[in-house]
Amino acid sequence: MTKVTAQLSVSMDGFYAGPQFAGEGDWMDSAESAGFFRVTRWVTDAMAWRERQGFAGGEQDTNSDVVAESFGSAGAYVMGRRMADGGEVPWGEEPPFRAPVFVVTHRPRQPLLRGGGTSFTYVTDGVASAVEQARAAAGGKDVAVAGGGSLVRQVLKAGLLDQLDLHVVPVVLGTGLRLFDADLDLGEKEAIELTPTRVIHAPQVTHIRYEVRGRAPLVLDDRGSGGGPTVTE
Amino acid sequence: MTKVTAQLSVSMDGFYAGPQFAGEGDWMDSAESAGFFRVTRWVTDAMAWRERQGFAGGEQDTNSDVVAESFGSAGAYVMGRRMADGGEVPWGEEPPFRAPVFVVTHRPRQPLLRGGGTSFTYVTDGVASAVEQARAAAGGKDVAVAGGGSLVRQVLKAGLLDQLDLHVVPVVLGTGLRLFDADLDLGEKEAIELTPTRVIHAPQVTHIRYEVRGRAPLVLDDRGSGGGPTVTE
């Protein structure tokens, strides 16, 4: 059954990139990109990611398996406009998605067909519509919300997210673009509850998979449910 | 050998409590406490914690083992003034620490001796001095920085922290008191690097132990070091 999933690499203090690029000079030299490349280093080191980009080399390890699993489970993508714009040139004629991508944007645009099965469809009537169109195109596989953080928050806030994979990178950045920010519209003493269903421990990154349970009041007797814990050293 | 350790229960978005209590009404009814009790629920449910408090019942599970290990490894504590003040009455005549506690404060005060091996010594010449005094008193065991978050940041910022245990609770609070905040004095493209050395996966909380490596520049070729990853489902 199709799930709506999201994943993001974040620092221990919750940033998926450094502070937002002001638009002067080269993004590649910016503090935003320095933070982004630090938290995604485990991805760019992974053979499964490098293969999709047409790059040689890389590590064939559990991190690479996580990347491969992520590509393999996605039947369609939903993407923010900023990420789609930023990737359009570097991804080239054969982007790594190999599936339909639905870009949430305010600017109407004709669909862009690329090689290897990737297409970009520009959706101007909101994130819920993009998720529905992706679901219809996913062929029973998952709909992957590809980011950035603002889009993941919108999907979470709208109650549309089923699963969140956080790749927690062992670094403190101190400042930057946050995955979780103040625009989730949580009430006082209200929270979003999740359940961790899988943890993968590697020296470079801790992969935690969460099932989203939904909004719940913060009450003292709202006890969590059970299940056996396991230890990995 | 004595390590300087810290641990904190945090939400997925990095809060160890709700938004700071304004001081009107009862703290127990505040949004600050609602967040705090949510992220520490796994502790208050644990038999090892309840025993130390003189409470009956609780879960005898891996979470409880984590609490017991934490109490067992601490030879002395360093604590912030706000936490020490807030706990003084509820902890009663036999506080759960059973070890010397060094409280970082601006107000000189005579030491407070309690039952069961707990004492409170008030240190007015800064956090480094408190850590040194705790080290001398720890008898070869660890110095545990007991919080709150501001104190943990001070110890981390001063380069005094060896190990950080984050207990990541699967909840998004949206707002509150952050463990990692802007006062770490990191430069542009500078970060604090750590290495995860142990992960314990439970449905209520993901326990991640980090070894602190220290400040490092965010450079593209600063590759992480290796080691085999393991999977826990």
- Give residue-wise pLDDT tens across range B8-26: 999 999 999 999 998 888 8
Q: Which of A29, A38, A167 to mutate to test the interface with B (most CBs of B within 10 A)?
A: A38
Q: How many residues does chain B have?
A: 233
3-state SS assignment for residue B28: helix
State the CATH class of domain A4-217: alpha beta
Check: CB of residue A152 under 8 Å from CB of residue A8. Answer: yes
Reading the block at residue A168, the tokens are 């927690």
Distance (Å) from the C-alpha of residue B177 to the closest C-alpha of chain A?
13
In total, the C-beta contacts within 8 angstroms joining chain A to chain B are 197
Helix axis angle for B127-137 and B149-157, nearest 10°, is 90
Check: CB of residue B161 under 8 Å from CB of residue B95. Answer: no
Question: Percent of chain B at pLDDT above 70?
Answer: 94
**Which residues from B are below 8 Å from A43, CB to CB?**
none
**Which residues from B are below 8 Å from A68, CB to CB?**
none
The type of residue at A213 is R
**Which residues from A are below 8 Å from B198, CB to CB?**
201, 231-233
Name beta bridge partners: A111. none
3-state SS assignment for residue A71: helix
Measured on CA atoms in the order B145, B150, B154, B156, is the torsion positive or negative?
A: positive
What's phi and psi for A84, nearest 5 deg? -65, -45
Asked whether residue B75 carries a pLDDT value surpassing 50, the answer given is yes
Reading the block at residue B151, the tokens are 């104190």
Q: Does A11 touch chain B (CB under 8 A)?
A: yes
Instruction: Give the nearest partner residue to B171 out of A37, A188, A191, using CB atoms.
Output: A191
Answer whether A193 sits within 8 Å of B204, measured CB to CB.
Answer: no
Answer whether A184 sits within 8 Å of B172, measured CB to CB.
Answer: yes
How far apart, in Å, are the Cα atoms of B6 and each of A103, A151, A194, A207, B105?
43, 34, 25, 22, 18
Report the candidate in A12, A5, A41 with the shortest Cα–Cα distance to residue A168.
A12
Answer whether A229 sits within 8 Å of B61, measured CB to CB.
Answer: yes
Q: What does the pLDDT read at residue B221? A: 52
Tokens 């991640």: give the residue: B208
Pairing state of beta strands A230-232 and B100-104?
Answer: unpaired
Cα–Cα distance between B1 and A19 in angstroms, integer?
Answer: 39
Q: Does A188 touch chain B (CB under 8 A)?
A: yes
Work out the widest C-alpha separation in chain A, in whole angstroms.
55
Cα–Cα distance between B119 and A164 in angstroms, integer?
Answer: 44
A176: left (phi over 0), alpha (psi -120 to 50) or beta: left
Centroid of chain to Cα B119: 19
Q: What does the pLDDT read at residue B230? A: 46
**Which residues from A are below 8 Å from B200, CB to CB?**
229-232
Cα–Cα distance between A216 and A231 in angstroms, integer?
Answer: 29
Instruction: Give the nearest partner residue to A220 out of B37, B63, B199, using CB atoms.
Output: B37
Tokens 């999740």: give the residue: A194
Distance (Å) from the C-alpha of residue A100 to the closest C-alpha of chain B?
30
Q: What does the pLDDT read at residue A220? A: 66
Mean pLDDT, chain A cut into blocks of 10 residues (233 residues total): 96 96 88 95 95 91 97 97 91 94 97 96 98 98 93 96 98 96 90 98 97 92 41 47
**Which residues from A are below 8 Å from B179, CB to CB?**
13
Centroid of chain to Cα B176: 16
3-state SS assignment for residue A153: helix
Q: What does the pLDDT read at residue B178? A: 95
How far apart, in Å, are the Cα atoms of B90 and each of B82, B83, B84, B96?
14, 11, 10, 11
Q: What is the pLDDT of residues B77-133, one digit of tens each?
A: 999 999 999 899 989 999 999 999 999 999 999 999 999 999 999 999 999 999 999
Which residue of chain A has the CA closest to B184?
A174
Cα–Cα distance between A100 and A112 in angstroms, integer?
Answer: 10
Answer whether A170 sits within 8 Å of B199, measured CB to CB.
Answer: no
Report the candidate in B170, B156, B17 with the shortest Cα–Cα distance to residue B83.
B17
Cα–Cα distance between B8 and A232 in angstroms, integer?
Answer: 20
**Which residues from A are below 8 Å from B225, CB to CB?**
203
How far apart, in Å, are the Cα atoms of A31 and each of B191, B192, B231?
11, 15, 33
Q: Does A204 touch chain B (CB under 8 A)?
A: yes
How far apart, in Å, are the Cα atoms of B53 and each of A188, B162, B204?
30, 28, 21
**Which residues from A are below 8 Å from B39, CB to CB?**
none
Identify the burial level of B28 via C-beta atoms within 10 angstroms of its C-beta, where 0-12 means exposed, 13-18 middle and 19 or more buried.
exposed
**Which residues from A are below 8 Å from B171, CB to CB?**
191-194
Centroid of chain to Cα B90: 18
Tokens 């050293």: give the residue: A233
Categorize the per-residue pLDDT at B46 as very low, low, confident or very high, splitting at 50, 70 and 90.
Answer: very high
Q: Which of B8, B9, B13 to mutate to test the interface with A (most CBs of A within 10 A)?
A: B13
